[in-house]
Chain A
């Protein structure tokens, strides 16, 4: 069965700092990759997705992610975070079928 690992459970950083969240998955076939964000008290919202093509994917709110097939990774980045980026971030993989497998999430706290 496929699995998704997010390396950092908690990240604390100051405004304007750069953010990178790691995501690795275990599945040898074709995958679709997603990053979702959950703001406090809200439901999950799609940040960006990778289906095929350019492995560098740009999403909403200045986020981007890079798919590195050889490393089974899909890391999320943002060059300069804002206080409003405080949220929990989930990496997810869709392999066979149409089911998403989620990582455990990374809680990001941005200090003003």
Chain B
């Protein structure tokens, strides 16, 4: 049982480049989330999804986009990378009764 799988684990981007962070879950959870974690700031919600075809903005959506074409996958897109997007990104999934299951994270550096 893989849980939540995130790829890549590490990435260095140049300013202005784009990339997609992949997230997949095999627990048939309806809810999926993207958070970014910055030192001393806890986790901030970027985008979330309550089911395939439905996404919504979280606290800090600027500079990011998401899609949810299947229940399993919830990719996060950075179109024009900026140094402020240097962070650790966590994907998570849940059903309504349990806590979240987190992926192992993607450490992104924008230079």
Contact = CB atoms under 8 A, between A and B. Distances in A.
Interface of A: 4, 6, 9, 34, 36, 42-46, 49, 90, 98-105
Nearest to A100: B100
Interface string B13-52: 0000000000000000001010100001111110010100
B90 A44 contact: yes
Contacts of B31: 98
A71 B48 CA distance: 30
Contacts of A105: 40, 42
A9 B40 contact: yes
B104 A42 contact: yes
**CB-based closest 10 A-B pairs:** A102-B42, A102-B43, A104-B42, A43-B102, A46-B99, A44-B102, A43-B104, A98-B31, A105-B42, A49-B99
Interface in B86-111: 90, 92, 94, 96, 99-100, 102-105
Interface residues of B, number: 22
A23 to B, nearest CB: 11
Contacts of B104: 42-43
Contacts of A43: 90, 102-105
Interface in B44-91: 44-45, 48, 50, 58, 90
Contacts of B90: 43-44
A43 B102 CA distance: 7
